[in-house]
Structure 1
Amino acid sequence: MTDPGSRNKRSKFRLHNPNRATIKVVQVDDCVIKEGIRCDYLLILPNEEEVYIELKGSNVQHAVEQIERGIELLSCNCKSLIKLCFISSTRCPINSTEIQNLKKKFKQKYNAKLFIKNGEISYTYEGNS
């Protein structure tokens, strides 16, 4: 996935689905949420795992806020539900301590794992369809 509304083609998310499970792909930005800040995509995996994706340039702090708003508006907020949050940026100007604090906050507040990486992010879903 790349951000269709952006000139940024270096931030990418690639989902590997070797078992060909049925995955719901939701375009959040300008589709499900049309106003305010919002993430780019939400994937709903067969095990009800939610995957939030933001493809960004260098404003990683804003990307974090976009993911947070996506969770707040779209998640069922079940504590047992696994949420994965991916931010792909062209450049990450925040330091590793700040990133660690953000990851801790996401785990505590949303029961979510936060991943921030420059360039392409690849994630493999091994579940069954």
Structure 2
Amino acid sequence: MLESCTEVSKEKKIVVSENRSKFTFDNINGDKVKKIQIDGCESLVIQGRKCDWLLVINDIQIYVELKGTDIDHAITQLKNTILHIQKISGFNVVQKIFCYIVTTRSPLSSQQIQNAAKSLKKSHNATLRVKNTPCLVKPTDL
């Protein structure tokens, strides 16, 4: 189901971008990274909202939502995607889940972001990070 939308790479820079938002994983160790396009994948049927990308590195999942400014909407997309992917993918033995919302600018207060992060941690055991574009993530950040 995910295979048709998955690209496997060991490149040093794994980049996903949309409009003016850009997320880069600095794959300095040359690990095998599964780069899965979630939004726009015709073979993946997810009811409701979904995030843009999922990167899988060893036992780590990184869900990426590239946004302009609507962080509340992005949280809904991330939660729905995690729930669906866990059911269908066999990624149930994941030890770490990270969610990145990459914005052109963040309109929410730090308190609103902290509340959203607590909610995501409680409901999906996921760590939320909201970053302005361009966002660079290194293995030491995970």
Query: Which TM class, normalised by the smaller chain length?
Result: 0.7 to 0.9
Which deviations, in whole Å up to 9, do the C-alpha atoms of 1:78-116 show, x marking residues without a partner?
586210000001121111111111111111111110000
What letter corresponds to residue 48 of structure 2 in structure 1?
G
Query: Root-mean-square deviation (CA), in Å?
Result: 1.9
Distance across 2 between alignment mates of 1:34 and 1:103: 23
Assess, with a 3 A threshold, how the Cα gap between structure 1 residues 80 and 55 changes in structure 2: closer, same or farther: closer
Is 31-40 or 95-104 further displaced after alignment? 31-40
Q: Which residue of 1 aligns with 2:32?
A: 22
Aligned 8 A contact 2:54 2:63 in 1: yes
Distance across 2 between alignment mates of 1:21 and 1:77: 17
Q: Of Structure 1 and Structure 2, which has the larger fraction of its residues in helix?
A: 2
Assess, with a 3 A threshold, how the Cα gap between structure 1 residues 18 and 106 changes in structure 2: closer, same or farther: same
For 1:35-114, what aligned pairs fall within 5 Å after superposition? 36-46=48-58, 48-75=59-86, 78=92, 81-114=95-128
Tell me the TM-score normalised to structure 2 length: 0.77
Task: Give unpaired runs (5+ residues) of structure 1.
Answer: none
* Greater RCO, 1 or 2 (C-alpha within 8 Å, sep 6+): 1
Number of paired residues?
A: 120
Q: Structure 1 residue runs of 4+, over 6 Å off?
A: none
Instruction: Quote how far apart the aligned CAs of 1:67 are.
Output: 0.8
Assess, with a 3 A threshold, how the Cα gap between structure 1 residues 119 and 13 changes in structure 2: closer, same or farther: same
Instruction: Quote how far apart the aligned CAs of 1:77 are.
Output: 7.7
For 1:109-128, what aligned pairs fall within 5 Å after superposition? 109-125=123-139
Task: Give unpaired runs (5+ residues) of structure 2.
Answer: 1-15
